[in-house]
A and B are shown apart, each in its own frame.
Chain A
Amino acid sequence: MIRPLIEMELKGMRIYKTFLFVNLLLMPFALLFMMIMNSSSRTPEDISYLVSGFIVVSLVSSFLGTLTNRVSNIFEPSVLELYSTLPPRISKVVLAQFLTYSLLVLPQVLIGLVVILYYQGVSRINAPLLVLALLLTFLELGALAVAIGARIGNPYKAMAVTTILPWLLVVFSPAYYRSSFPALYLNPVTHLLLCVRSAIGLQEISPIPWLVSGALTVIFTALAIRNVGSSYMLEKPF
């Protein structure tokens, strides 16, 4: 059931292919290209620091920028009516959307990792911890996107959130700059960056960002499941 839903979602992007090419490939890789071209004046750690920021920012954009909008579209009353008698449950439709946007952002993540591997060397990377950090990032941001999209249930209203929220989360996190200003730790993205950077040997491994990210993943997932999995979906005060 998931496969045709993912195929549908991917085919449904055909008319936006230029927009998607620019936003998902051209612009992010142009940024990555500039980072690499600037490498002569920076240390390998600096480049890895920026590229790890690039990976997390790509996930923020893909999930909180696009996935939130798509999920909010599914939760419009007229679309819920249509899906109420179609075979897949809404939770499966949303899962398929999460997997689709995870697939779309994967090239950026993988190419970013290759660049980090090149600059950092294999020996400095804690592979299991890196997999865990990336898994947490995918799940936490994906669950947050689904929880927000399902709660809003209107793509026009969601657009207000999806144009501002990713920027706030990126600007007020040490994605592309170094800072330990305390207020930045209120931002979940800061903790995800710390997890990823500790796994690639750029930070000391501290339990706090892992615990915070783990707890937030559980909370956001619980919220997403509550919003997506409930019966009588139009009973919710949209």
Chain B
Amino acid sequence: MNVIEIDNLTKVYPDGTRANDGISINVKRNEIVGLIGPNGAGKTTLIRQLLGLLKPTKGSIRVMGEDIAENPDVIKRTLAYVPQYPLSFPSLRVEEVLEYVFRMRYGNAPREETEKKISEVLSLVGLDGASKFFGYQLSGGMKKSLLLAMALVQELPVLVLDEPTSMVDIVTKHRLWEAIMNSNREGILLASHDMNEVKALCDRVYLLVHGKIVASGTPADIVSMIKMPTEVRLIPQREIPSSILPKEHRKRGNLYELAFDTLEKALETVEAINRSVGVSYLEIESPSFENLVINLIGRDGE
């Protein structure tokens, strides 16, 4: 059984906009699945259908094996959600927010159990020093951490995150990534703009453009889907024999600028140069995951 199973999902708004077009996504047990795409790709529409706030025009969504159209209660029973916007409760303390969420979920659980759980979650998201802070005192990153804590404290099997670390500093970002990875959910769906985040967290990725899935696979699969040029700048210890140099190269003083079709070819050549004449300075510009995705999106647009 898949934790989340979205089958042939289509959403057409009353003005005719086809925001989702035949999308099929699966999140298997113990898997973190990423959903990436530019603004307007249809990520929010998809999440809002998953949350039961928008009605699919066509297709179905199953969470933990139950169809959400037939059993809308399954959403509240099994799914925790971290929204994109850093919502806050200005005059509630961090610990109070978590206490209310926990009490709403588990009724009158013993005081000790509630406090222990809240303390664990606060520590996991790095808010243990801010438990007495009011919502209005929290920074953007702390608000996002609290939203993640609200989702985690409920201990539900499925976690859906919509850009959980946008507007968050790099240290908090890494802490939240760790919290997500260590959250032990049965399945996680993560919508994000941050390619590093997707690469760091996700087992599989779906790339959504203009409401359609244009690519899917592991982050490594996505990288291997397209060949991207690689640029090398190096200063050799001695003159490089022309037989080793690629066709596309330029020399500026001692600095060589070499261009290759793929990273593999670039590395082979650099190794040959190093063996032959030695290298005293080396700079390789290889495509980032982000560039690859941009390239894929651009290619799809064409």
Q: Which positions in A face B, CB cutoff 8 Å?
A: 1, 4-5, 7-8, 11-16, 77-82, 84-88, 231-235, 237
Bits for B152-174, please: 1 = Cβ < 8 Å to A, else 0: 00001000101000000000000
Asked whether, in the complex, the Cβ of B51 is within 8 Å of the Cβ of A78, the reply is no
> What is the bound-complex CA distance between A234 and B151, given in angstroms?
22
18 CB contacts below 8 A, A to B, read A8-B92, A11-B92, A12-B92, A14-B91, A15-B91, A15-B136, A16-B91, A78-B87, A81-B51, A85-B75, A85-B76, A85-B151, A86-B76, A86-B104, A87-B105, A231-B52, A231-B55, A232-B55
**Distance between Cα atoms of A81 and B52 in the complex (Å):** 9
Chain A proximity of B42: nearest CB distance (Å): 14
Is B104 a contact of A81 with CB atoms below 8 Å? no
The A-contacting residues of B in range 142-197, CB under 8 angstroms, are 147, 150-151, 156, 160, 162
In the complex, the answer to whether A84 meets B51 with C-beta atoms within 8 Å is yes
| Known contacts A11-B96, A82-B83, A87-B104; A234 and B91 CB within 8 A of each other | no
Contact B79 A85 (CB under 8 A): yes
Closest A residue to B101 by CB, please name it. Answer: A86
Nearest-neighbor residue (CB-CB) of B162 within chain A: A81
Secondary structure type dominating chain B contacts = mixed
Given the known A-B contacts A12-B92, A79-B87, are A85 and B53 also in contact in the complex, defined by CB atoms under 8 Å? Answer: no
Shortest A20–chain B CB gap in Å is 11
Report B's interface with A, CB cutoff 8 A. 14, 47-48, 51-55, 72, 75-76, 79-81, 83-85, 87, 89-92, 96, 100-101, 103-105, 134, 136, 147, 150-151, 156, 160, 162
Please determine whether B51 and A4 come into contact, CB atoms closer than 8 angstroms. no
Q: Contact check, B81 vs A81: say whether CB atoms are below 8 A apart.
A: yes
A168-B87 Cα distance, complex, nearest whole Å: 34
**Contacts A1-B104, A78-B85, A232-B52 given; does A85 touch B80 at CB 8 Å:** yes
Measured CA separation A90–B91 after assembly (Å): 21
Would you call B91 and A82 a contact (CB within 8 A)?
Answer: no
Contacts of A237 in B (CB 8 A): 14
Shortest C-beta distance, B4 to chain A (Å), equals 13
Q: Which residue of A has the minimal Cβ distance to B55?
A: A232
A23 → chain B, closest Cβ, in Å? 16
Give the residues in chain B near A7, CB-CB below 8 Å. Answer: 100
* Separation of A86 and B150 alpha carbons in the complex (Å): 9
A12 to B54, CA, bound (A): 29
Q: Which residues of A contact B150 (CB under 8 A)?
A: 86
- Whole-angstrom distance between the alpha carbons of A84 and B52 in the complex? 7
Of B54, B83, B101, B160, the residue contacting A78 (CB under 8 A) is: B83
Also in contact, A81 and B92, with CB within 8 A (given A15-B134, A86-B104): no
Contact between chains at A234 and B80 (CB < 8 Å): no
Say which residue of B47, B55, B156 sits within 8 Å of A235 (CB atoms): B55
Nearest CB of B to A111, in Å = 27
CA distance A233 to B48 in the complex (A): 10
B14 / chain A contacts, CB cutoff of 8 Å: 237
Q: Which residues of B contact A88 (CB under 8 A)?
A: 104
